[in-house]
């Protein structure tokens, strides 16, 4: 069973991409991902963070030597080098990513679309399905 099948069946994740996960499930999700061999890091999304700051924060968690330049092109260039570095797979937990929606639906949709497009566009990698997965944590379910 691939990790994608495991994630799709996990109640914490609730299906496929984009992975919208309730913030309260962060610990269980981290344990699941760790057990699947992911290197797990969290990035806090603040209401006032720009896309440039968010991309640089993700790059910091991935150990990239320089900022991404705060743009999607720079992020994509670094992302393409992950397999060459012999590292991964990674899981980035974007804490409070519902703050992106508070900024506006366009910011929310753009960030999710771009991150997923970049990770799905480049590859496949010889030693892993996708070297980087994003999990968007927030208050998605009013009951949780």
CA–CA distance from 84 to each of 49, 78, 125, 126, 139 (Å)? 30, 10, 10, 10, 36
Sign of CA dihedral 11, 132, 59, 87: positive
Among 3.30.70.100, 3.40.50.11540, 3.40.50.300, 3.40.50.150, what is the CATH number of 3-138? 3.40.50.300
Question: Which pLDDT belongs to residue 94?
Answer: 96
Q: Which residue has the higher pLDDT, 67 or 108?
A: 108
Mean pLDDT of 53-74: 83
Mean pLDDT of 107-123: 85
Q: Pairing mode, if any, of strands 132-138 and 19-22?
A: parallel
Round to whole Å and give the CA distance between 104 and 34.
32
Cβ-based neighbours of 118, under 8 Å, separated by 6 or more = 72, 75, 76, 79
Q: Is the pLDDT of residue 125 over 70?
A: no
Of 19-23, 31-35, 70-74, 86-90, which gets the smallest average pLDDT? 86-90
Percent of the chain at pLDDT exceeding 90: 31
Q: Which two tokens stand for residue 80?
A: 């393409």
Percent of the chain at pLDDT exceeding 70: 83
Of the pLDDT bands very low, low, confident and very high (cuts 50, 70, 90), residue 144 is very low
> Is the CB of residue 74 less than 8 Å from the CB of residue 55?
yes
On average, the pLDDT of the chain sits at: 82
Instruction: Give the residue extent of every domain in the chain.
Output: 3-138
Q: Is the pLDDT of residue 128 over 80?
A: no
């Amino acid at each position: 069973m691939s990790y994608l099948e495991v994630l799709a069946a996990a109640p914490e994740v609730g299906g496929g991409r984009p992975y919208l996960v309730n913030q309260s499930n962060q610990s269980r999700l981290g344990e699941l991902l760790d057990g699947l061999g992911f290197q797990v890091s969290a990035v806090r999304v603040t209401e006032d963070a720009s896309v440039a700051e968010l991309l640089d924060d993700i790059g910091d968690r991935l150990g990239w030597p320089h900022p991404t330049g705060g743009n999607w092109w720079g992020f994509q260039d670094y992302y393409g080098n992950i397999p060459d570095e012999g590292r991964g797979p990674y899981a980035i937990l974007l804490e409070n990513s519902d703050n992106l929606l508070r900024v506006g639906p366009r910011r929310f949709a753009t960030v999710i679309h771009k991150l997923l497009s970049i990770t799905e566009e480049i590859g496949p990698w010889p030693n892993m399905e996708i070297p980087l997965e994003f999990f968007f944590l927030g208050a998605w379910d009013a009951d949780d």
